[in-house]
Chain A
Amino acid sequence: MKFSIVIYAAPYSSESAASALRFAQSALAQGHELYRLFFFGDGVHNASKLSVVAQDESNLQQQWHELIQEHNLDSVICVSSAIKRGIVDQSEADRYDLGVASAYSTSEIAGLGQLIDAAMHSDRLVNFG
């Protein structure tokens, strides 16, 4: 089955982003297709590559990154949510002269149309917030 997952929650401030990650891992492990991950609102913080966590904590952003990379997933960060929260890729960083990209390059910054496209083309859309 073809799934898409929408993540509204920032990592760490609630359990939801971690739930979304585990759902994604489990769906992939069962052989389902992940059509798209869509990070929206505070959820865009999950794509930050600038996070550092204590040794006894797990780094959610890094885990998302590894999952996306391993399975070559289509992962989208909502542009309107992202840039105002300081989540930018290299091209946004260049455009606004910010000096450094904060988003993992495994996710693409794009518009909400990608979310609606996911709703149209997935068998199941699952929201975590």
Chain B
Amino acid sequence: MSDTVANNSSNKKRITFISRAAPYGRDKAALCLDMALACAVFEQQVNYVFLEDGVYQLLKGQDATAINSKTLGNALETLELYGIDNICVDQKSLQQRGLSEADILAGIQLIDRESISELIKASDTVFNL
């Protein structure tokens, strides 16, 4: 994690998104994702953190067609395609919900609260929703 924090070129802003909401029930998860995707175009240094109920967005096998909604898991895969540098999930939030790495989408880095607090400290702007 310290690599990510240290590796910052001068005129890029470090923008961290903390996505704390479960998908579908409210629009917070989708709004957070939309902001990050818009951010990628500007080539800023972006961190994306799934915290608390936000970890439910990462569950494999989601299909929201029955509730006339866009399946969020698919959209999350585009985060990487858009060049979002650093996507991580809070280990404690997974544990508290009885989830393991096997339940969630591949390619997401597990981190602890201390690392999240370091990320926050090193960020210029934090979107937290």
Contact = CB atoms under 8 A, between A and B. Distances in A.
Q: Indicate whether A and B are direct neighbours in the complex (CB within 8 Å).
A: yes
Given A8-B129, A129-B129, A120 B42 contact: yes
Interface string B19-35: 00000000110010011
A37 to B, nearest CB: 16
Given A40-B31, A113-B38, A129-B129, 12 more contacts: A8-B31, A8-B129, A42-B27, A81-B31, A113-B41, A116-B15, A116-B35, A116-B41, A120-B42, A125-B125, A127-B127, A127-B128
Contacts of A41: 27-28, 31
A120 B129 contact: no
Chain A contact residues: over half helix, strand or loop, or mixed?
Answer: helix
Given A119-B13, A119-B15, A120-B13, A80 B34 contact: yes
Contact of B34 (A42, A112, A117, A127): A112
Interface of B: 13, 15, 27-28, 31, 34-35, 38-39, 41-42, 44, 124-125, 127-129
Nearest to B41: A113
A116 B127 contact: no
Interface string A96-129: 0000000000000001110111011000010101
Nearest to B11: A120
A112 B44 contact: no
A93 B17 CA distance: 33
Nearest to B129: A129
A6 to B, nearest CB: 8
A111 B42 CA distance: 13
Contacts of A40: 31
Interface in A32-50: 40-42
9 contacts: A111-B38, A116-B38, A116-B39, A116-B41, A116-B44, A119-B13, A119-B15, A119-B44, A127-B129
Contacts of A117: 42
5 closest A-B pairs (Cβ-Cβ)? A112-B38, A119-B125, A116-B39, A41-B31, A116-B42
A111 B37 CA distance: 12
